[in-house]
Amino acid sequence: MRFRFTTIALLCLAFASSAFAADTKPHRVAIQVNQNDPQVMNLALNNVTNVIEYYRAKKEDVDVEIVAYGPGLHMLRADTSPVQDRLKRLKELAYPGNVQLSACNNTKQNMEKAEGKEVPILSEANLVPSGVVRLMELQEKGWSYLRP
């Protein structure tokens, strides 16, 4: 009888643990920016801020990655970004490591060829080989996807 009670108790604990684990699924969203439009860039940043504040209020973690490619790379260019100050404030608002900025290296190289000069990327951004591939890989890992 005692063995049966212990077994039932352990099974209940296992089910409760698995239910708790299902509720703690990480929140992760990849946001695409592929337009050289300050309104689109600001909308993306508004979305990021709202997501961070929502989950912070719930005391839950959230990871956000903005992936800029094509004309949207201007968002992460040190010489042309109309939202540089907002990006810096966003990185300060977020928990360390919760917001990543990914700049497409394919686009950067094409811009450098067209402009005949080095294209500077913001120090807060990381170069990725391909913005589109980065978005695909994040989605394959279960990230949500948003295009403002």
Q: Strands of 99-104's sheet, edge to edge?
A: 125-128, 99-104, 62-68, 27-33, 144-146
Residue range 83-141, pLDDT digits in tens: 999 998 888 776 666 899 999 999 999 999 999 999 999 999 999 999 999 999 999 99
What pLDDT, on a 0 to 100 scale, did the predictor assign at position 28?
97
pLDDT at 17 over 50: no
pLDDT at 7 over 50: no
Mean pLDDT across the stretch 4-14?
Answer: 48
pLDDT at 5 over 50: no
What distance separates the 2 farthest-apart alpha carbons in the chain?
81
pLDDT at 47 over 50: yes
Please give the domain boundaries of the chain with CATH numbers for all domains. 26-146 (3.40.1260.10)
Please give the mean pLDDT across all residues of the chain: 87
CB 142 within 8 A of CB 28: yes
Which band of pLDDT confidence, cut at 50, 70 and 90, is reported for residue 31?
very high
What pLDDT, on a 0 to 100 scale, did the predictor assign at position 10?
44
Helix H or strand E segment including 66: strand 62-68
Which band of pLDDT confidence, cut at 50, 70 and 90, is reported for residue 22?
very low
pLDDT at 20 over 50: no
Mean pLDDT across the stretch 17-39?
Answer: 79
